[in-house]
Amino acid sequence: MKSDRQFLTDLADVVDDAALDGLRARLAEQAEADDLLDVAYRTMDSPVGPLLLAATAAGLVRVAFECENHDDVLVELSTAISPRILRSSRRVDDVARQIDEYFAGRRRVFEVPVDLQLSKGFRRAVLTHLLEIPYGGRESYALVARSAGNPGAVRAAGSACANNPIPLVVPCHRVVRSDGTYGQYRGGAEAKHMLLTMEAGA
């Protein structure tokens, strides 16, 4: 005689992933319509590795490199913003398209709303200033500190750049050391080198 569990599972349907994929996509749509989708995200491939793109209703809130571990980043967003996080392309597809164009050399300015809520105070002032550094431009950490309103805070400016939650779109890669060397980058020194070389060659 079969076990009770076997008896019942034999009667139950196998739930296949394909059926659930459709329902999960629908859940994200319904959540958005009901104002319950606090953070929507997707991933994309890029010349600097896979990227995670996350957006609130206000705008792009986080871009993460693979070396940051996307799962860890989602847990951080869950704590810092809201655990109501679902994979959903709609809100971030436009950003993904613009990043593709940027790497293809067809875009110099990102036209997406950004949500700077993950950065406070001076760090936020630094990020706001970074948005003004044009494609192909370079600034020293000292100049960034001065432009953000605190000339003495060079080290803090460096840390604001190193912790920029929206790299690429908020172009912290355009900030370099006064001696011309590249300095640290969230996505790794190699990625920063690649971006600056790409922008210089265009």
Partner 1 sequence: MQPFEAIVAEHGAVVMRVSRSLLGPVDADDAWSETFLAALRAYPSLRPGSNVRGWLVTIAHNKAVDQIRARQRVPVPAGDLPERLAGEEPGPEPGDTELRAALAGLPPKQQAAVVYRYLADLSYADIAALLDCSQAAARRSAADGIAHLRRHYGKDLS
Q: Which stretch binds partner 1 (CB under 8 A): 3-11, 60-68, 96-104, 124-132?
A: 3-11
Please report how close the Cβ of residue 142 comes to partner 1 at its closest, in angstroms: 39
Query: Which string of x and - marks every residue 152-191 that binds partner 1 (by CB under 8 A)?
Result: ----------------------------------------
Q: What span, in angstroms and rounded, lies between the C-alpha atoms of 91 and 55?
A: 7
Catalytic residue (choose from 60, 63, 172, 191)? 172
What values do phi and psi take at 58, rounded to 5?
-80, -30
- Asked if 162 and 184 touch (Cβ cutoff 8 Å), the reply is yes
- Asked if 127 and 118 touch (Cβ cutoff 8 Å), the reply is no
Interacting residues with partner 1 between 24 and 53 (CB under 8 A): 24, 26-27, 30-31, 34, 36, 39, 41
- When the beta carbons of 87 and 193 are compared against partner 1, the nearer one is 87
Distances (CA, A) of 125 to 38, 87, 164, 194, 202: 24, 30, 12, 26, 29
Which amino acid is located at 80 in the chain? A
Q: Does the annotation count 161 as an active-site position?
A: no
- When the beta carbons of 9 and 178 are compared against partner 1, the nearer one is 9
CA angle at residue 105 from 144 to 117, to 5 degrees? 40
Which amino acid is located at 131 in the chain? L
Supply the residues annotated as catalytic: 172
Residues that bind partner 1 (CB under 8 A): 1-2, 4-5, 7-13, 15, 17, 19-20, 23-24, 26-27, 30-31, 34, 36, 39, 41, 74-75, 77-79, 82-87
